[in-house]
Structure formats: C-alpha cells, structure tokens
Chain A
Amino acid sequence: MTTIADPKAPRAARPGPGRRSTRGNTELYGWVFMRVSGVLLLILIFTHLWSSLISGEGISQVDFGFVAGKWANPFWQVWDLTMLWLAMIHGTNGMRTIVNDYAEKDSTRLVLKSALYLAFTVVVVLGTLVIFTFDPCPAGAPMDLLPDVCSDLP
C-alpha cells in the first residue's frame, strides 16, 4: 500500500525554472506613457493635418516651399519633433508589447525586437536630423527645383 505525503510537510521547491522576478516600474511607466502620449498625439496629429491640408489654400498648397516655410519656424520645428518622437516611441512600445505577446521563443523575440529597435533608431535619428538641418536653398542646386524664396537670396 502506498502512503500519501503529509499535507503539512514542508513543500519541496518546484523543479525546473521558476518565474524569474522582473519587478519594477518599467511596465507601469510604459503603460502610463501609452495613455498620455496617445492623447497628446491626437492633438498633435490632427492639428498637423488641419494646418497642412485644410487651413489656407488646403491640400494644393503643399509643396517643397510649403514644408521649407514651415520648418523655418521654430514653433513647427518643435511641433514636428515632438510628434516624431512621441509617435515613434508610442509605436515602438506597442510593437514591443505585441512581440512579447506573440513570440513564444526567446530567439524569435530577440530577432524581432532587434529589428524593431534598429528601425526606431534609424527613423528617429534621420527625422531629427532633417527637422534641424533642413536647408531650403542648398548651394549649387538647380534653381528650377527650389522654392521661390531661394531666388530672393543673394
């Protein structure tokens, strides 16, 4: 006859890898950031769409010169920069969450997340550079491709 274990006996530790504790506020801040940036992006994006496509002459006004004019103004520089960064962090964090949810293998997760963070870095660095170093009238460029403002320059 087999005996069963004493229910009050001290329990042996569970074999195999248990849950590694990953406590901390990282996920909490991530969660809050998604909500806050979501609301901010609504304002930023819809104002951006309105100012570019609806106000003034509407969609027909958008050309190289229009963008150049906008980025000559520090207000729109900061606006577009905020939009770029918030949208990229918001989107990347969302994708990170989806990868965590659906990729079961650690190796798959590593590959997908590396690709994600690489894409994030490229877009954010490139975008930031463009917003701040944008020159509407580069020296030596053919005049017919440049906006009218450039012909007034000495």
Chain B
Amino acid sequence: MTATLEKTAPGPGSAESGLGAVPSFQVTLRVQRYLPTDAGDLPAGQDVGAPTPGEYRWDEFTLTMHGTDRVLDALHKVKWEHDGSLTFRRSCAHGVCGSDAMRINGRNRLACKTLLKDLDLSKPVVVEPIKGLPVLKDLVVDMEPFFASYREIMPFLVTTGTEPTKERLQSAKERERFDDTTKCILCAACTTSCPVFWTDGQYFGPAAIVNAHRFIFDSRDEGAAQRLEILNDKEGVWRCRTTFNCTEACPRGIEVTKAIQEVKRAMITRTF
C-alpha cells in the first residue's frame, strides 16, 4: 500500500521521508465567495481581498496538500494560513454532525468526508454553497427553511395511553424496517440536490420525508396517520420526480428515493 502511494507521487520529499511517508501534491481550490450587503466594516486585516458586499466572486487558492487530506483540511488551510475571512460551517469534522455539506465539483458532499486524492486534481476543485437555500456568507447558508420542514413532520415519538414502566419493546425485524432512515444527520445534502426544491422552496424536500419515514414505519409510534396527512400535500411527497439526486448525494448512503416511494405507497394503500 505504502509502496503504491510513493509510486504515484514521487515528490522531492519522498526520498528522505522514506517508508510511510504521505505523498503531497498541489491543489487548486476554487471557492465561491459572498459577502452580505449588511456585513458592515470588516475588522482590520480581514478586509484585504474580501468580496464586495452583495456580490458573488470566485477565489482561487493553490495549496500543498497531503494524500490523507480532505476538502475540509484544504478549507482550514485557506482560513488559517491564507484568508481568514473565508466562512464555512463545520463542527465534528468527521462526517457525523452534518454541518459542512457543500457543493464540491458540482456534487453535494460533506467536505470532511471527501478526500482530495479522490478528486480530479488536474483541474481546480470547485467548492460552492449548497443550492436552494439563501446564502448568508461564503459557504454558509440559512438552514431555517430546511429545519422548518423538518419540524413540520413531527420528528418525535408520538404515543397514546399509559407509558410503560420499562422500555418500549420492538423486535429486530420491526427495527430493521426503518433502519436506513435512522442514519440521517440533517446535513441538507439531499434536499439541496433536489431540482424540485431548487425551483420550489415550499417543497418539504427529501430530508423531511426521510425523517417522517423513520417514524411512520416505527412500530412503537402512533403518529403515522398524522404524518401521512401532513405529507399528503401539494408540496409533499407527490412533488418527488424520482430523479435520485438525493440518493446520490446522501453522505450516509440512505436510499432516500426509496424511502419517499415507501411513504407514497403507504398513502396509496391507506386511501384505496
């Protein structure tokens, strides 16, 4: 494995660093920048090369990165060493919190799960904010419309009757039924890859439907009818055109389109 890596990048440093060395390479990062009009005066030192308020601009950075680096590491390098005004979200940086979903080379991915070496480095790596949500600054978008849809489908357990003294039991098979949709981290990669959502911000979007699916098919939950009613909307599941962009975009590998179709089927079997 190490030998293969060294062969692919016989840089000047590889001879002295020897076994286990991580190859390094040049990466050009092309980042979309945006500064809101109400940004006010920037602190001294940060106003150098900052975008004009209210306008989009492309910035290119050429960086020396390593084989183990991800797009997020490149963004960090830019922010820490080149331009401190670059703004993006990230929390855990390990693909669990879902904060750093962005459009990398035209595809929605998590910056912390995209290794630079897996991208085509002969061209600049294009990084944009996710589409369909208002951009606040650079790569940060307003997630509120996304979370509003999420809240609307009641993403919590709904039960009636007396609470059991111990846990609510469920068989392994019953748990398996909605296992896939429990993986969602609410990164919005699916919803902002959906062409219907791009033109119609009122559409609930794949993420909300996935999280409804998680409860609709949970044997312990009793709010399925209510959730189906909520999603049986002009802006609900029937807007889905099964383009599979969401399934493609999901960094957790959830079969999003399948989940949406299962919700549709539940509605149809309920009606007829």
Residues on A close to B: CB < 8 A?
14, 18-19, 21-28, 30-32, 100-102, 104
Q: Of all chain B residues, which has the CB nearest A21?
A: B233
The answer to whether B233 touches A28 (Cβ under 8 A) is: no
Residues on B close to A: CB < 8 A?
144, 148-149, 152, 195-196, 199-200, 202, 229-230, 232-236, 238-239, 241, 264, 267-268, 271-272
Answer whether A19 and B238 are a contact pair too, CB < 8 Å, given A32-B268, A100-B200, A101-B196: no
The answer to whether A28 touches B267 (Cβ under 8 A) is: yes
Q: Of all chain A residues, which has the CB nearest B196?
A: A101
The answer to whether B200 touches A27 (Cβ under 8 A) is: no
CB neighbours (8 Å) of A27 from chain B are 232-234, 236, 238-239
Complex partner residue of A19 from B199, B202, B267, CB under 8 angstroms:
B202
The answer to whether A26 touches B144 (Cβ under 8 A) is: no
Q: Of all chain A residues, which has the CB nearest B199?
A: A104
CB neighbours (8 Å) of A28 from chain B are 232, 238, 267-268, 271
**Number of contacts between A and B (CB, 8 Å)?**
51
CB neighbours (8 Å) of A32 from chain B are 268, 272
B151 to chain A, nearest CB (A): 9
In the bound complex, how far is the Cα of B115 from the Cα of A101, in angstroms? Answer: 35
Complex partner residue of A101 from B149, B152, B200, CB under 8 angstroms:
B200
A113 to chain B, nearest CB (A): 14
CB neighbours (8 Å) of B195 from chain A are 101
Complex partner residue of B144 from A14, A31, A100, CB under 8 angstroms:
A14
CB neighbours (8 Å) of B152 from chain A are 19
B145 to chain A, nearest CB (A): 9
In the bound complex, how far is the Cα of B57 from the Cα of A36, in angstroms? Answer: 49
B189 to chain A, nearest CB (A): 21
Q: Of all chain B residues, which has the CB nearest A32?
A: B268
Q: Of all chain B residues, which has the CB nearest A24?
A: B232
Return 28 A-B CB contacts under 8 Å, by A number: A14-B148, A18-B148, A19-B148, A19-B149, A19-B152, A19-B202, A21-B233, A23-B232, A23-B233, A23-B236, A25-B232, A25-B271, A26-B234, A27-B233, A27-B238, A27-B239, A28-B232, A28-B268, A28-B271, A30-B238, A31-B238, A31-B264, A32-B268, A32-B272, A100-B200, A102-B199, A104-B199, A104-B200
Which of B195, B234, B264 has the most A CB atoms < 10 Å from its CB? B234
In the bound complex, how far is the Cα of B202 from the Cα of A19, in angstroms? Answer: 6
B238 to chain A, nearest CB (A): 4
CB neighbours (8 Å) of A102 from chain B are 199
Query: Lowest 9 A-B CB distances belong to which pairs?
Result: A22-B234, A27-B238, A23-B233, A31-B238, A22-B233, A19-B202, A104-B199, A27-B234, A23-B232
CB neighbours (8 Å) of B234 from chain A are 22-24, 26-27
B197 to chain A, nearest CB (A): 11
CB neighbours (8 Å) of A100 from chain B are 200, 239
Q: Of all chain B residues, which has the CB nearest A20?
A: B202
CB neighbours (8 Å) of A31 from chain B are 238, 264
Answer whether A23 and B230 are a contact pair too, CB < 8 Å, given A102-B199, A104-B199: yes
In the bound complex, how far is the Cα of B196 from the Cα of A72, in angstroms? Answer: 47
The answer to whether A101 touches B232 (Cβ under 8 A) is: no
In the bound complex, how far is the Cα of B271 from the Cα of A27, in angstroms? Answer: 12
Complex partner residue of A23 from B148, B229, B239, CB under 8 angstroms:
B229
In the bound complex, how far is the Cα of B149 from the Cα of A26, in angstroms? Answer: 21
